[in-house]
Amino acid sequence: MADLHKHTLAELSEKLSSGACTSVDIVNDVLASIDSTDGKIGAYLTLDRDDALAQANLADERRANGENLPLLGIPIAIKDLLNVKGQPCTCSSKILEGYIAPYDATVISKLRKAGAVLLGRVNMDEFAMGSSTENAALGKTSNPWNLEHVPGGSSGGSAACVSADEAIAALGSDTGGSIRQPAAFCGCVGVKPTYGRVSRYGLTAFASSLDQIGPLTKTVKDSAILLETLCGHDPLDSSSLKMDVPAFGKNLTADTSLVGMKLGLPKEYFVEGMDPEVEKVVREAIEHCKSLGAEIVEVSLPNAKYAIAVYYIIATAEASANLARFDGIRYGMRIDGKNPADLYAKTRSAGFGQEVKRRIILGTYVLSSGYYDAYYKKAQKVRTLIRKDFTDAFKTCDAILAPVTPTPAYKKGDKTDDPLKMYLDDILTTPINLAGNCALSVPCGFSSSGMPIGLHIIGDDFQEETILKVGHAYEQSTEWHKQRPSL
């Protein structure tokens, strides 16, 4: 059987269900694909072939015993910041060298129960701090559409491996756009669920009040199927909400009509400095939604422009505390010192990369004595305004359409010397993390140089079903998602 790795999750689920192929067949094809292309892409940090095949065998056995779950036997790549019992979890950082996770993240337990094959661990920006996967201590990842370009970040490995058919789907995490932006850059689908939808237990925290785990897949339907398994209340995560999980996958039908849907167009979202090609492609996508019957209404998100400032205060402040535990005492790398303080400083200086240090220092500063009110407290108040903008907007529309990024994927090294420039690229994604609602990115075209562009579909709190429906209708009535990079 050839080229199983090129199929979507939904297609393979069908094939497995009908007996047209086995999980071992799929895993073998995916491993072969990794062998042939990952030398160029560099998505994987660790890959245990025997373990993957053993899991596949087990999945096939479960199926032989009558189980028929949609993820049973589907190989999924894991962003390297999720704890999987018995595996390393480096977060692409030297400081976690030697750490072996003694427990499973809740999403991992859910995937195991669903019978998914945990394929391997994929690259990311160190501790999810970055938008290009260039801040990675253990490997470089390239964009499958153009190896000179970045895959986006921080879930760059997740997006690249899905786009390059090196995994059927992947898990990522999104703190300020880290799922949606690489999905847009690599031409795949990525969903940031509503804060509280998916348990964060076992996700190495970057910014606890913003982080959410979500799927990166080849199609909207695939994301819907995977998301359904990831969601649900977890007593181990105090921020996890007791909400019913709709049958996201099943509820997506072949009907691509958007009649009766009101889609908002935020006038502030076509920002200054936006690549005209991106604007053009996204506006075409919006026109397309209109042709599917949607009513387009103008909405306003007046405080969205402050999102970067607010985000880089709140996220770095939380990170400065979250990353304090990486101190060389209980696990990970240690560089000995003459006393504990000396050990901490030596270990952390050698263990963290530059961007991580930069953000820890910024976050430490905005919380420090005398500056808290001026920075942190103020940012929390503006966060309230940003959240209110969305609440107001969703009074007049069902979902919001927008670009995901101001530009398509750029060349490696283009922005590494200018952190602020890199931060500003998150202008369109961070407001959603600050507000807490959900959003996805779906491919909607290409730049003239052949780089993918994503359409941002933003929903209200817990309206994943709505954005999946819009995304699915758009995707199924266009051809963008069928295009694959030639490798």
Please give the residues from 302 up to 331 whose contact with another protein meets the rule CB under 8 A.
Answer: 303, 306, 308-310, 312-313, 317-318, 320-321, 324-331
The CA distance from 130 to 376, in Å, is 21
Q: Which of residues 155-174 bind another protein (CB under 8 A)?
A: none
Structure tokens at 416: 């590494």
Site string for another protein, 104-143 (x = CB under 8 A): -x--------------------------------------
Is 178 an active-site residue? yes
What tokens appear for 384 in the block?
A: 């309230």
Among 251, 253, 384, 449, binds another protein (CB under 8 A): 384
Q: Which residues of 65-104 are buried (b: 16+ CB within 10 A; e: fewer)?
A: eeeebbbbbbbbbbbbbbbbeebbbbbbbbbbeebebeeb
Using CB under 8 A as the binding rule, the residues of this chain from 452 to 471 that contact another protein are 461
Token pair in block for residue 181: 């932006």
Q: What is the DSSP letter of 302?
A: T
Count CB neighbours of 192 within 10 A.
34
Which CB, 126 or 166, lies closer to another protein? 126
Q: Within 13 Å, how many C-alpha atoms sit on residue 304's CB side?
A: 25
**DSSP letter string over 438-461?**
EEEEEEEEE-TTS-EEEEEEEE-T
Place of tokens 């503006």: 382
State which of residues 34, 41, 96, 114 lies at the interface with another protein (CB under 8 A): 96
Of 165 and 460, which has the nearer Cβ to another protein? 460
* Closer Cβ to another protein, 192 or 469, answer by number: 192
Q: Which of 23, 33, 79, 142 is catalytic?
A: 79
Please tell me whether residue 107 adopts helix, strand or coil conformation: helix
User: Distance from first CA to last CA of the chain, Å, rounded?
Assistant: 20
Smaller CB distance to another protein: residue 74 or 179? 179
In the complex, least distance from residue 89 CB atom to another protein, rounded to whole angstroms:
6
What DSSP element (H or E) covers 23?
Answer: helix 23-41
Amino acid sitting at position 368: S
Residue from the set 14, 51, 237, 414 that interacts with another protein by CB under 8 A: 237
User: Applying CB under 8 A, which of residues 53, 241, 271, 296 lies at the interface with another protein?
Assistant: 241
Closer residue to another protein, CB minimum distance, 34 or 400 = 400
> In the complex with another protein, which residue's Cβ is closer, 297 or 309?
309
Which member of 53, 245, 271, 382 binds another protein (CB under 8 A)? Answer: 382
To another protein, the closest distance from the beta carbon of 164 in angstroms equals 27
CA quadruple 239, 244, 248, 254: dihedral sign: negative
| CB-nearer residue toward another protein: 114 or 207 | 207
Question: CB–CB of 16/63 below 8 Å?
Answer: yes
Amino acid at position 349, single letter: S
Q: Which of 31, 210, 294, 439 binds another protein (CB under 8 A)?
A: 210
Helix 49-64 and helix 23-41, axial crossing angle in degrees, nearest 10:
150
Active site annotation includes 33: no
User: Scanning residues 410 to 429, which ones bind another protein (CB under 8 A)?
Assistant: 419-420, 423
Q: Is 299 or 314 the residue whose CB approaches another protein more closely?
A: 314
**Bridge-based pairing state of the strands 399-403 and 452-459:** antiparallel
Question: What string marks each residue from 327 to 366 as x (binds another protein by CB under 8 A) or -?
Answer: xxxxxxxx-xxxxxxxxxxx-xx--x-x--xx-xxx-xx-
Token pair, residue 299, equals 């909405």
Among 378, 483, 484, 487, indicate the residue that binds another protein (CB under 8 A).
378
391 binds another protein (CB under 8 A): no
Quick one: tokens of 22? 């086995």
Q: In angstroms, what is the minimal distance from the CB of 174 to another protein?
A: 13
Q: Closest approach of Cβ 134 to another protein, in Å?
A: 16
Q: How far is the CB of 385 from another protein (least distance, A)?
A: 6
- One-letter amino acid at 68 equals N
CA distance 457 to 442: 8
How far is it, in rounded angstroms, from Cα 50 to Cα 129?
Answer: 32
Q: Tell me the number of residues near another protein by CB under 8 A.
A: 103
Q: How far is the CB of 117 from another protein (least distance, A)?
A: 21
Min separation Cβ 373 and another protein, Å: 9
Cα separation, 362 vs 203, in Å, equals 23
Residue 79 annotated to the active site = yes
Q: How far apart are CA 171 and CA 123, in angstroms?
A: 11
Give min distance, CB of 76 to another protein, in A: 18
Binding region for another protein (CB under 8 A) out of 8-16, 82-90, 150-158, 277-285: 82-90
Angle between the 220-230 and 464-476 helix axes, to the nearest 10 degrees?
A: 160
179-208 positions binding another protein, by CB under 8 A: 194-196, 200-205, 207-208
Query: How far apart are the C-alpha atoms of 351 and 469, rounded to whole Å?
Result: 44
Among 40, 113, 377, 482, interactor with another protein by CB under 8 A = 377
Catalytic residue among 92, 178, 240, 320: 178
The catalytically annotated residue of 13, 109, 142, 154 is: 154
Q: What are phi and psi of 267, to 5 degrees?
A: -65, -25
Rounded least distance, CB 285 to another protein, Å: 28
List, by residue number, the catalytic residues: 79, 154, 178
